[in-house]
Amino acid sequence: MSMIRNLLKRMPATSLKRPVTHWQGKDFSPKTKSVNHIIHKNVQNVNKNLNGTILPYMTKGKTIKGFQRGSKSLGTPTANFPEEVVDELPPSLPTGVYFGWASVDGGPIYKMVMSVGWNPFYNNEKKSMETHILHTFEEDFYGSELKVVMVGYIRPEKNFKSLDDLISAIKSDIDTAHEQLEKPEYQIYKDNEFFKPTLQNGHVNGLVNGTER
């Protein structure tokens, strides 16, 4: 709770240009309804400050091997970005779980959820961006180019009492992503120019963070 309060204090109040993302996460820990209601409202407030300012956030990079925990322990394989991509994140972007769209090597665009931060349950020493694409791939795609558009915020990162609690939270995040990304205000980003390669001077370029590279 203190982390959310600090986030809200640091973020300037902005007018909404897009509808607010509503947190639809399920209660995956033994908390009272009143506490969950407060968290719900605070996460909504975080989204009010993110939408139209930091979000949508677009980035791309070559995928690397991560901690190998997603597939083995959690049942949710992830694609990880290298440090240089993580280091480009805006300092004002809160850590936590986001939802959006992803594409591998210019292929189909799929729904995704992404964890940004240090993953308190595993005490990571380095900040990471771990993307779980909501699609089953036949093979690993390490070294492939991954493009992502983060369009909404689900929850702050937190520690969990057990692995089962973490897995339950991840499943709730995935359900939230599926539901939110069906909304028209988020569907439009699936057709964003960022995902469409353009040929300039013999080179394929894309839009990253609103500018061409």
Would you name the residues annotated as active-site residues?
130
Structure tokens at 156: 């702050």
Q: Is the dihedral of CA 41, 42, 48, 50 positive or negative?
A: negative
Which is nearest to 156 in space by CA: 33, 59, 67, 38? 38
Structure tokens at 171: 């499943």
DSSP-derived letter for residue 55 is B
DSSP-derived letter for residue 195 is G
Phi and psi at residue 12, in whole multiples of 5°?
-70, 145
Structure tokens at 151: 């369009």
Q: Is the dihedral of CA 151, 155, 160, 163 positive or negative?
A: negative
